[in-house]
Chains A and B, each alone.
Chain A
Amino acid sequence: MIAGRGRQRIRPPRRGLHGDEVDFENTWGIIASAFREIHTKNASRLSYEELYRHAYRIVLKKKGEELYARVRQFEHEWLSNEVRGSVQALFSPNVLANTQSLGGTTANERRVAGEKFLKGLKQAWGDHQVCMSMLADVLMYMDRVYCQDNRRPSIYTAAMMLFRDDILKTPTSDAEGRVVLGLLTHVILDQIQMERDGDVIDKHLIKSCVYMLEGLHDDDKESEELRLYNVSFEREYLDTSREFYHQEAELLLRDSDAGAYCRHARRRIYEEEERCKSTLLESTSPRIQKVVEDELIKHRIHELVEMESGVRFMIDNERLDELNLIYDLNNRVDGNKSELTRAIQKRIVDMGTDANKAAIAASQSTAPAADAGGEKGKGPAPERNSNQQTVAAIKWVEDVLQLKDKFDKVWRESFNSDNLLQTALTRSFADFINSSAFPRSSEYISLFIDENMKKGIKGKTEMEIDNVLEKAIILLRYVQDKDLFERYYKKHLCRRLLMNKSISNEVEKQMISKMKIELGNNFTLKLEAMFKDMTISEELTSGFKHHVEGLGEKDPRRIELAINVLTSMTWPLETMGSSDDDGGKRPKCNFPIAIDRIRRGFEKYYNQKHSGRQLTWLANMGSADIKALFSKIPQKDGTFKERRHELNVSTYGMIILLLFNELPATQHLTFEEIQAQTNIPVNDLIRNLQSLAVAPKTRILLKEPMSKDVRPTDRFFFNEGFNAKFVKIKVGVVSSGNKVESDRERRETEKKNDDSRGFCIEAAVVRIMKQRKELAHQQLVMETLSQLAGQFKPEVNMIKKRIESLIEREYLERIEGVTIDSYRYLA
């Protein structure tokens, strides 16, 4: 384009700007005096363009370096001579005083003096900044051309460094080694301290000074880490804060309670955060937070938790807010919240152990009472004893549930439903429930369910029932020895089913399905089989009834039979007999002829349906309804009346009563005669006779001598004068209810349990080995443990023994010649 206009010449500038020689000294004189005007805020008469032009000329004349040096020199002198003096004038004794000691002056005086100092400094800094930006703009051409080309810091930056060196880094007085910067730091810290103590300070003022420190750097390279703020102030700030909070924590721990401490700590943390926003720089925030957290929480959390008014106190008094505070604080410094967790766990275990002890104590404290009762007659005393044990069991379960509710509440409301803490809670509950000092938890829980099934759920809504069941499941979840529980539950369930004690079959099934969900199919398999047996038995009963009717023999005195056929593998029959002394073989009791006939009839009927099965009659489990006719005796109103009663008695009771049927009224039978005729086991006989002859409301027999105990020599009569208000009478057999086992029974149960555990272990070992063929001992034990974890926690010793026994029986063999003990599976 330009070439296209070839005719036109490029004109040289008519009058070269650089044409004239520039008199540097003169020009500098003009500039310097103008700068002075600027510094004294008299710029209005100056022409920017003129000054700019002067500087421009000087730079053009390659005198940039000289100009730069002159300006620096000018500023240096200005700061040293004018500004420093005015800053030093601010060092009132009160400001200086606090550099040595805090005594002698009041906080208020110090605060005022400090503020004056800060204000003055801020003023000087502000002025310097404004002036220097004006200067820098005037010298823009120099910055643009000279500084960039020669890699010098801009004149503005250079002047800022001069301020640092000539003002901040000068000694406060000739005598002292302290520099203004140190004093500044100290004054700010002092002000902050005053704020911590509750004074109101000028945050804005301090923030300005902090900005100054932020804007200046310790070196000339302006690196981030070496900002004066970080180098001189922040470090000091963190140190003094650490010291301060260290002392404060000490004081607070000594003087106030844990709740107050937590509130205070939280407030301090919040305050420091605010302070960083309003007074200091936000970049300090995480650092000071850490200091506060370290001093107030991390180093103190242990003491805090252990305080008299610590976690324990809070739990006991339901101080949910304070627990929440502690949680929050602990969470800040320790994601695992180990201190809090530890304290909570300890408390749970303590409280749980208390509940355990209370239960044990409750079950034992009755023992002396029972002994006292035993003086009069030993009959009902053990019963009361065991009843009270049952009460203790129920109480224990309720205690534990209460504990669980309590801690759940704490967990929800104070611990923000923290997952880690939940596991800790669960572990602690499991710990004390499975504590070796308290072996009865399985039994107690089963009893608790039993009690509810029999009585507790009466008149409750479905929701409430569900609640109760859910609670039981919760506890069950904690129990380690699930097999032991299963054993007890089976036993209790068995009683409930056979004796029709259960209020609702529906609820029973609900419970089972809950357990199924919780513990798996295996666990409930046998329980379900029990229900199935019950259903089949009902069918059998009605089938047999039809069958008998079909036989056509109309017997008005025919006896109706309701039968329960139980699979001996599924039902814990051994626990139902009272009969350890029978040595396992159950003596067949002699049924009266009428009964025996129908028994044989049923056996025949059953054999037709299922051949090859053997029926064992468990008379001790049955009951009978008898219609009894009592002879006329005078009534209260003087009339004579026959009295009909329907007696509901146990099968044994029925057999005994039928004996008296054949006896003339005045005759008697001795205990031994009854025993001989019926062949009822002694224990059962005693209990049945007690209920028939001793219990006041159902005294159908009379006994001589009239004592609560039944002795072999006692004689029994039919009670002609029996009297009762109701037509239907239920003769309860003594201690047929479920109750806590006696120690002997316990040992028995445990032994049986151990036996079955042995089988479980063997089965597991064989399963594993069959799959793996060869395995090291340690690994085998581990796998066995993990396989059985759902049922119980076997002892390693027991596993070892089982392995030995398997080797003996040649299921396994030791692998010879290997360093680690290993086994091989033998097919």
Chain B
Amino acid sequence: MADADATADADANANLTEYVTLVSNDGFEFKILRSAAYLAGAIKNSLKPTYGFKEGSENRVDLPTINGVVLEKVCEYLYYNQKHAESKDVPDMEIPPELCLELLIAADYLDV
């Protein structure tokens, strides 16, 4: 089964776009690298090609619980995380304190 999955993934990967679109509740669209987006568990699951959910076929995830400001910061973090995944002594990411709570909720929701 495992190998069957792997081949299915490989097949699906072939026609996957490099970028996916994340949409905030106030209509902002963020096109980010698929690999970066996958760092968020919920986004990853929603896009899983084998499941065939709507998001997967459109490469577009609506996130009606998150506004544009927060989503921008989330995307920034996803790239930041991807970039520094294997390095040490990483500089802190700048987080405006006023966004803290909302970011926390978003992170919990998206399983980042």
Task: Give me the interface of A with B, judged by CB distance under 8 Å.
Answer: 2, 5, 8-14, 17, 43-49, 52-53, 56, 126, 129-130, 134, 137-138, 140-141, 144, 208, 211
Contacts and interface: CB of A to CB of B under 8 A. Distances in A.
Closest 10 CB pairs of A and B: A48-B46, A48-B53, A137-B45, A43-B52, A2-B97, A47-B54, A11-B98, A44-B52, A134-B51, A13-B102
Given A49-B62, A140-B111, A13 B51 contact: no
A413 B56 CA distance: 66
A5 B100 CA distance: 13
Given A44-B57, A53-B65, 17 more contacts: A8-B98, A11-B98, A13-B102, A14-B67, A17-B109, A43-B53, A44-B53, A46-B53, A46-B54, A48-B45, A48-B46, A48-B53, A49-B46, A126-B1, A137-B48, A141-B42, A141-B111
A48 B63 CA distance: 11
A137 B49 CA distance: 13
A9 B45 CA distance: 35
Interface in B33-79: 41-42, 45-46, 48, 50-57, 61-65, 67
Interface string B21-43: 00000000000000000000110
Contacts of A43: 51-53
Contact of A140 (B42, B51, B62, B64): B42
Given A47-B55, A208-B1, A130 B50 contact: yes
A19 to B, nearest CB: 11
Contact of B101 (A5, A8, A13): A13
Interface in B91-112: 96-102, 105, 109, 111
Interface residues of B, number: 30
A141 B41 CA distance: 10
Interface of B: 1, 41-42, 45-46, 48, 50-57, 61-65, 67, 96-102, 105, 109, 111
B97 A10 contact: yes
Nearest to A212: B1
B63 A49 contact: yes
Nearest to B65: A17
- Overall SS of chain A's interface: helix
B105 A211 contact: no
A52 B46 contact: yes
A742 to B, nearest CB: 86
Best-surrounded residue of A126, A130, A137, A144 (most CB of chain B within 10 A): A137
Contacts of A129: 1
A126 B101 CA distance: 42
Contacts of B41: 140
B51 A137 contact: yes
Nearest to A129: B1
B58 to A, nearest CB: 10
B67 to A, nearest CB: 7
A12 B101 contact: yes
B63 to A, nearest CB: 7
Contacts of B56: 48
A35 B50 CA distance: 16
B52 A53 contact: no
A53 B97 contact: no
B73 to A, nearest CB: 13
A656 to B, nearest CB: 105
Nearest to B23: A49
A56 B45 contact: no
Contacts of A126: 1
Contacts of A134: 51
A9 B57 CA distance: 41
Nearest to B46: A48
A570 B99 CA distance: 115
Contacts of B55: 47-49
Contacts of A8: 96-98
Contacts of A46: 53-54
Contact of A144 (B97, B101, B111): B111
A211 B1 contact: yes
Contacts of A137: 45, 48, 51
Contacts of A14: 67, 102
A3 to B, nearest CB: 9
